[in-house]
A and B are shown apart, each in its own frame.
Chain A
Amino acid sequence: MLELQRNVIFGQFVDTGSAVHRMDPRIKLGATFVLVAASFLVDSFLGFALLGLLAAAIQAASRVPPAYLLRGSAIFLGFLLFILAFQVLFYAGEVPEGGYLWRWGFLSVSVPGLESAATLGLRVVLLYYVTTMLMLTTSLVDLTAGLEQIFSPLQRLRVPVNELVLVFVIAVKFVPIFIEEIERLARARTARGVPFDEGGALARARRIGRLLVPIFIGGFARADVLTTAMQVRCYRGGRHRTRLRRLAASPSDWAALLAVTAWAAAAWWVPGALP
């Protein structure tokens, strides 16, 4: 039967109590920002290799099982490969003499096409990895507190920081809830004689498509309940809220951020500087 939670881990939090988990969320957000920037700026395979090493180090430090992460990203990676295949086949850039490996009408496989698709793929994978890792290692409370404090200066410009952060965090955390909801609906239909665990990939996809409307409606209902729950508990934005746990970044946290930044800068700069 469907066990989608196994295949889609985006937005989940897995507490292994590692050093990465214990880090100050602001530091983690800072490091995430640096790596996101790096994923856009880095342009060479050597640079991506360096960032890959960094990712491996973070992965090891977080003690989140790599197999769990891989299986949880399988659907995403499959989808990415599918898109990249188009990127290769419909490559429209300049191709030097002898650059084509295969050609049929307007479809082609060329060396520059493959290169551009690979770069794009690596960028997206890195982006996905960094954000997923942030969520796997940071609890909802920490994430909210960290974002609020980072953006708190904007409050002077009358930007409703607390509300925006709340909306963002809820949106992210709705992903696992929706996945659970899909499972629940699929089970209900299966138990009533419309199987979700049989048939080819296309038949399955079509059946899941039919769940979209009920999931959408269920999402509204859930948002409604959430609003009521927050209202009856007198929520009125974060300005007047106090915190039990104050965030405090330790020197080692700063050192980690510095190391990540230095490494990312190296990944961007070193390949270009090489002869």
Chain B
Amino acid sequence: MSGRPLIELRDLRYTYLAGTPKASEALRGVSLRVGEGERVAVVGPTRSGKSTLVAALVHLLRLGRGQVFYRGEDIAAPGYDRTALRREIGVVFQQPEAQIVEDVVGADVAFGPTAAGLPAEETRRRVQESLDAVGLPYRQFRLRYVHALSGGQRRRVALAGMLAMRPPVLVLDEPAAGLDPRGRGELLALLRRLLAERGPTLVVCSASLDGAALLCDRVVVLDAGRVVLDAPLRRALAEADRLAALDVTLPEAAALARELRPFFPDLPAGVLDGEELEKELLARLGAA
């Protein structure tokens, strides 16, 4: 991370419906800095505060001042241009349906650019570009009805709607939840391509350190509204036992390595994929 962080959270606390009998504390002092171009996975069990954190990033909560900063500016300050902020930070919510505004695919993807006042020609170009990018060919899909799409396709429409604004920061809340293995694989490939082509700053929230979270190079573990671990991916994976205790699903290879620990006590826990695990195992089997 160089110099000023892009996003900074300073002791962020948030209680839903504060001061009412239904108050529930979601974040209890989260401090976090995300640099430009960084890829951060925010993982933790349910109710750990992930979605609240996502909502806070684009000021969808009643934030106090001095808690969330974007490019060094307090986003809760009066007069801060939050509409511009939301065009810079593209958030894809946990339920894609929650985000789709129009009933026709093309119109929905155009919603953001239109609201931003882009000329029709530019909007059309962006819609085409974004739909193609998420693997829903523009010609074939632009006039389809959203409610007639599958869950995976809807998620892509939601993602395309965000990409059409060309945000430098992409925030995905549980991008793979509820998708079948194939849909998950396709989504992963899509994200990988996007990262290679556009290189946005990425924040992925998930209950599992698998799939999209593995695209990240840094892991922040939340538990009950607090950061309990903030480390590079490999170092975080090495804390497999702690992660498992927090109900964070480990990547397949790392989970397997953890199970094999009794037989190979020196097996490193921070293995990323099957190939790596195979190499480590072979080295040990050859030695035996």
Q: Please, how many angstroms separate the alpha-carbon atoms of A187 and B57 in the complex?
A: 13
Q: A192–B21 contact, CB under 8 A?
A: no
Q: B59–A14 contact, CB under 8 A?
A: no
Task: Tell me, yes or no, whether A198 is within 8 Å of chain B by CB.
Answer: yes
Q: Please, how many angstroms separate the alpha-carbon atoms of A45 and B16 in the complex?
A: 40
Residues of B close to A184: CB separation below 8 A: 98
Comparing B41-49, B86-94, B199-207, B238-246, the segment that makes contact with chain A is: B86-94
Residues of B close to A67: CB separation below 8 A: 19
Interface residues of A in 1-59 (CB under 8 A from B): 1, 3, 5-6, 12, 14, 16
Q: A192–B59 contact, CB under 8 A?
A: no
Residues of A close to B256: CB separation below 8 A: none
| With contact pairs A68-B21, A198-B83 given, residues A192 and B112 touching in the complex (Cβ less than 8 Å) | yes
| With contact pairs A1-B61, A3-B17, A3-B62 given, residues A191 and B93 touching in the complex (Cβ less than 8 Å) | yes
Q: Please, how many angstroms separate the alpha-carbon atoms of A189 and B112 in the complex?
A: 9
B38-76: CB near A (< 8 Å → 1, else 0) gives 000000000000000001001111100000000000000
Q: A191–B99 contact, CB under 8 A?
A: yes
Cβ of A194 to closest chain B Cβ, rounded Å: 5
Q: B101–A188 contact, CB under 8 A?
A: yes
| With contact pairs A1-B61, A197-B82, A198-B82 given, residues A191 and B19 touching in the complex (Cβ less than 8 Å) | no
Task: Tell me, yes or no, whether B1 is within 8 Å of chain A by CB.
Answer: no
Q: Please, how many angstroms separate the alpha-carbon atoms of A187 and B55 in the complex?
A: 9
Q: A190–B86 contact, CB under 8 A?
A: yes
Task: Tell me, yes or no, whether A64 is within 8 Å of chain B by CB.
Answer: yes
CB-CB nearest 10 A-B residue pairs:
A193-B115, A14-B21, A188-B99, A1-B60, A194-B115, A192-B112, A68-B20, A191-B91, A195-B83, A193-B112
Interface core residue of B87, B99, B116 (most chain A CB under 10 Å): B99
Given contacts A12-B22, A65-B21, A191-B99, 4 further A-B contacts (CB under 8 A): A184-B98, A190-B58, A191-B60, A192-B99
Cβ of B140 to closest chain A Cβ, rounded Å: 23
Q: Which among B21, B62, B86, B116 is the interface contact of A191 at CB below 8 angstroms?
A: B86
| With contact pairs A65-B21, A184-B98 given, residues A192 and B111 touching in the complex (Cβ less than 8 Å) | yes
- List 7 A-B residue pairs with CB atoms under 8 Å apart, sorted by A's residue number: A3-B17, A187-B55, A190-B60, A193-B116, A195-B83, A197-B82, A214-B101
Interface residues of A (CB under 8 A from B): 1, 3, 5-6, 12, 14, 16, 64-65, 67-68, 71-72, 184, 187-195, 197-198, 214
B1-39: CB near A (< 8 Å → 1, else 0) gives 000000000000000110111100000000000000000
Residues of A close to B60: CB separation below 8 A: 1, 187, 190-191
Residue of A nearest to B84 (CB): A193
B118-133: CB near A (< 8 Å → 1, else 0) gives 0000000000000000
Residue of B nearest to A194 (CB): B115
Residues of B close to A192: CB separation below 8 A: 86, 99, 101, 111-112, 115, 161-162, 165
Q: Which among B19, B82, B162 is the interface contact of A195 at CB below 8 angstroms?
A: B82
B223-264: CB near A (< 8 Å → 1, else 0) gives 000000000000000000000000000000000000000000
Q: Please, how many angstroms separate the alpha-carbon atoms of A88 and B209 in the complex?
A: 64
Q: Please, how many angstroms separate the alpha-carbon atoms of A204 and B162 in the complex?
A: 23
Q: B58–A191 contact, CB under 8 A?
A: yes
Residues of A close to B112: CB separation below 8 A: 192-193
Q: B17–A16 contact, CB under 8 A?
A: no
Q: A193–B165 contact, CB under 8 A?
A: yes
Residues of A close to B62: CB separation below 8 A: 1, 3
Q: Please, how many angstroms separate the alpha-carbon atoms of A39 and B42 in the complex?
A: 55
Interface residues of B in 159-197 (CB under 8 A from A): 161-162, 165
